[in-house]
Amino acid sequence: MRESSTVPEDVKQRLNWLLIFIVICFSALVIGLWYLQMIKGEEFKERAVENCIRSLVEDAPRGRIYDRQEKLLVTNRPAVVVSIIPAEVDDLKKLSERLSKIIGISPEDISQTVKNYRENPFKPVKILDDCKTNKIVEIEERKDELKGVVLEIKPRRDYLYHDFAAHSLGYVGEIDKEELQQFGNPKFQGGDIIGKAGLEKYYDDILRGEKGGKEVEVDALGQEIATLLYQRPVPGKDLVLTIDRDLQLYGENLLYDKKGSIVVSNPNSGEILALVNRPSFSPNIFANGISGSDWERLSSDADYPLTNRSVQGLYSPGSIFKVVTAAAALEEGVTDRKRKIYCSGSFELADQVFVCWKETGHGSLSIVDAIAHSCNIYFYTLGKDLGIERFNKYMQKFGLGEKTDIDLPAEAIGIIPSAQWKEREVKEIWFPGDTINLSIGQGYLLLTPLQVHNLITAIAADGEIYKLHLVKKIISADGKTVKEIKPEIYKKVDFSSDTFKIIKEGLRQTILKGTGWKANIKELALAGKTGTAQNPQGETHAWFIGFAPYENPEVCITVFLENGGEGGEAAAPIARAMLEKYFNIHK
- At residue 480, the 3 state secondary structure works out as coil
326 vs 329: CA distance, rounded Å:
5
CA–CA dist 265, 242 (Å, integer): 9
Q: Which of 147, 101, 152 is nearest to 129 (CA)?
A: 152
User: What pLDDT score was predicted for residue 283?
Assistant: 96
Distance CA 418, CA 512 (A): 36
Domain range list for the chain: 53-241, 245-280+308-582
> Do 35 and 169 meet the contact criterion of CB atoms below 8 Å apart?
no
Tell me the residue length of the chain: 587
Cα 225 to Cα 412: distance, rounded to the nearest angstrom = 55
Q: What is the pLDDT of residues 19-47, one digit of tens each?
A: 776 767 777 666 766 655 666 555 545 54
pLDDT at residue 1 in the model: 44
- CA dist 533 to 295, 361, 567, Å? 32, 19, 8
Check if 53-241 and 245-280+308-582 are the same fold. Answer: no
Rounded to an integer, what distance in angstroms lies between the CA atom of residue 237 and that of residue 205? Answer: 9
pLDDT above 70 covers a percentage of the chain that reads 90
pTM listed for this prediction = 0.86
| 319 is annotated as an active-site residue | yes
Render 552-567 in DSSP notation, one character per residue. S--EEEEEEETT---I
Coil, strand or helix at 310: helix
State the fold for domain 245-280+308-582.
Answer: Beta-lactamase (3.40.710)
Q: Which of 319, 366, 418, 439 is catalytic?
A: 319
3-state SS assignment for residue 533:
strand
Query: Does CATH number 1.10.760.10 belong to domain 53-241?
Result: no
pLDDT tens-digit series, residues 109-118: 999 989 887 6
Give dist(CA 227, CA 56) in Å, integer: 11
Q: Which helix (H) or strand (E) holds 514?
A: none
The CA distance from 414 to 310, in Å, is 12
Judged by DSSP in three states, 336 sits in coil
For residues 191, 192, 193, 197, the Cα torsion angle rounded to the nearest 10 degrees is -100
CB 578 within 8 A of CB 264: yes
C-alpha R_g of the chain = 35
What pLDDT sits at residue 6?
Answer: 60
Q: Point out the residues of the chain with pLDDT beneath 50.
A: 1-4, 44, 47-50
